[in-house]
Structure 1
C-alpha cells in the first residue's frame, strides 16, 4: 500500500473497493482498532495548527482522499491518484459488505432525527447488518463515558462516527487503544447524507469534481463560509509544495 506524505499528513491513494477489501481482510484476521480517516481541504488546513488532528491522520491505517480538489492538487504534485475515494461512497460500500457478512455496527453522531432516519434506511436496505447500538452526536462529557462503556461492552465490528472534524478524529485517538472494536471510521457528513438531511450532487457532477457546488447551493451560509476559511489556505499550501516538491513515498508496513 503506497503512502503519500505531504502537508504534514499522509494519504493512501486507494480506490474505494480497495479500502473495503483491506478492511475485510484485516477483520478476517481478527485485527482490532483498524482506523480509517477521510481527509478533505478542511482537514488538511486544520491539521496544520492542530497537533492532535495531525497525529490522528498520520496514525490511521488508511487515509482516503475525500475531495476532488485534493485529488487534483496531488496529481499536479506528481502523485498517481486512481480516483477520489469519497467518504460517503466508502461508507456505503462497507455497509454492502457488512450486510453480506452479517457484521455488527455502532453508530455515533448526527442529530437524533437524522440518526433515526439513517438507521431506519440501513435496516431496510441492509437487513442482515446487526445494529447493536447508536447515539446522536450531542452529548456531555459524562455521557461520553457511558457511550464508550456501551461500545466496549458491545464490541462491534464497526464504529462509525458522524461527527465533525476534529471531534471524530480525537474521539478515535482517545479511545481506540481501549475499545475492542474492529474498525473505527469517522465518516462526518455521511450520516446527514444517509439520513436525508442533505442530498448529494448527481453522479455526473461528482465525477467532474463539482459536488461542492451542490452543497453550497443547499446551504450557502455553512458551506460557502468554508470556502473562504479553508480552501484558500489549502491552495496556499498546495502552491508551496508544488514548487518545493517535498513529497515522500513510502511502503506501508502495516
Structure 2
C-alpha cells in the first residue's frame, strides 16, 4: 500500500477544503454544508456521485485502482465512518464530523419533499424497496418517488436501468447495492448521460423498511454503530470490520510515522 500520494481533486461546484487520507480525498464538510452543496448540483442539473467513505472503503481504494479512480473523482466525498474522523484528527487534519449515510439520505429526502425534488430508489430485495417506498411516502406525504427497482440484476441490465432513469428524470437516485458493483454501476449511469445526484446508501433500505434494526442512539453517539451491525450480521461483516479496521489502523499509524 502506498501512502502520501499527492492527489489533486476539486468539487465541481464547491470551493470547500479537501484533505487526503491514505490516498483518499475527503471533503471537509459537516452535514448541513454537505446538503447545501449537494443542492447546488440539483439546481444546476449537474451530475454528482455523492460518496461516503469509511475505513473499509479506504482499504478498498488502496487495493483497487478502479475504485480509487472512481472515489477520488466524485464531486462530494464525505467521511461516513467514525474511524475516518478519528484518523483525520490523529493525522493533524481534522474533519468536522461523521456524515452518516443513512442520516444524510433522510435529510435529502426531507429536502426533496420541501423543494419538490424527485427521487428514485434502486437496490435491495423487491419487498424491501417496496416497503421503503411506502414508509417514505407515509413519512413525507408530498415526496415525489418516480420509480423503484430492486438490486437483483446483471450487468447486461444496466442499459435498461439507464433508459428508465432518463425517462423518469429523478433528481436523486439512492443506490442500495453492495460495493464495488455500486460504484461501477453509478459510474456507468453517469457516463451514459444521467444527470441525477447518485448516492450509495448501503443497507439504508433495510433499515428504513424495518428489515434490519438500526443501532440504539447511545451506540450511535458512542461511535459503536459498526459493532451493532456486526452483531446483526456476523458472518458477513466480521471480517470487514475486525480485520479491515486493523488494516486501516495500521495504515494510519504508518502514515503518521511517514509525516513525522
Which of 207, 223, 242 is residue 209 of structure 1 equivalent to?
A: 223
Per-residue deviation, residues 113-150 of structure 1 (Å, max 9, x unmatched): 11111111011111212111111111123322211111
Q: Which runs of 5+ in 2 are unaligned?
A: 1-15
Partner of 2:93: 79
SS in structure 2 opposite 1:121?
helix
CA distance in 1, matches of 2:245, 2:202: 18
Between 1 and 2, higher relative CO (CA 8 Å, sep ≥ 6) is seen in 1
CA distance in 2, matches of 1:87, 1:141: 25
CA distance in 1, matches of 2:237, 2:164: 34
CA contact (8 A) 2:230 2:241 kept: no
Per-residue deviation, residues 88-126 of structure 1 (Å, max 9, x unmatched): 111011011001012111111111111111111011111
CA distance in 1, matches of 2:192, 2:227: 40
Dislocated runs of 4+, deviation >6 Å: none
Partner of 1:22: 37
CA distance in 2, matches of 1:31, 1:102: 14
Alignment of 1:231-250 (within 5 A): 231-245=245-259
SS in structure 2 opposite 1:176?
helix
CA distance in 1, matches of 2:157, 2:194: 19
Which of 39, 51, 58 is residue 72 of structure 2 equivalent to?
A: 58
Which of 187, 194, 198 is residue 201 of structure 2 equivalent to?
A: 187
CA contact (8 A) 2:226 2:241 kept: no
Q: Structure 1 residue 235: deviation in Å?
A: 1.4
Q: How many residues align?
A: 245
TM-score (normalised: structure 1) = 0.91
Q: Structure 1 residue 227: deviation in Å?
A: 2.3
CA contact (8 A) 2:158 2:185 kept: no
CA distance in 2, matches of 1:197, 1:166: 23
RMSD between aligned residues: 1.5
SS in structure 2 opposite 1:181?
coil
Partner of 1:172: 186
CA distance in 2, matches of 1:110, 1:195: 10
CA contact (8 A) 2:230 2:237 kept: yes
